Amino acid sequence: MALVFALAACNGPRAGNTAADNAALFTIQHAKHQLRAAVAGSDCHVLVIETKAEFDDDLVESIQYGIGDYDAFGGADQFAQEHGFRAVVYRDSAGALWTYGATTRDEAQSMPRCR
């Protein structure tokens, strides 16, 4: 029984880390790809991933699911689950949006940033 609790604790959100700390960690882990992560949403549980370049569908899916060059850390989907985010939103330099998880496109367009 203790093993079950230990495994659950290891796979849950990181204790002591805020959502902003976790977004900063994502940014550090993906620095070579020039991805920046921030936190947004009324509950501050949405991971927003941005870049100075333009995304396309294939690139976003590679980042989201950890495919190709982005598999070193398991993808943004795994990162979001492990760190307690309910959704991931991608925004590129042209303002295009991609959403995954518990959010809508309308919410993503207007959600407030968290500090």
This prediction's pTM: 0.84
Q: Is residue 43 part of a domain?
A: yes
For residues 13 and 115, which has the higher predicted lDDT (pLDDT)?
Answer: 115
Q: Is the pLDDT of residue 10 over 50?
A: no
Given a cut of 90, is residue 86 above it in pLDDT?
Answer: yes
- Distance between CA atoms of residues 7 and 47, nearest Å: 24
Secondary structure class of 8 (helix, strand, coil): helix
Distance CA 6, CA 73 (A): 22
pLDDT digit string, tens, across residues 48-60: 999 999 999 999 9
32-49 per-position pLDDT tens digit: 999 999 999 999 999 999
Range of the domain at 40: 2-110
* Helical pair 57-65 and 75-82, crossing angle rounded to 10 deg: 40
Tell me the C-alpha distance between 106 and 115, whole Å: 21
In a domain, 115, yes or no: no
Q: Kindly report the CA angle at 82 between 79 and 88, in degrees rounded to 5?
A: 45
Q: For the chain, what is the domain count?
A: 1
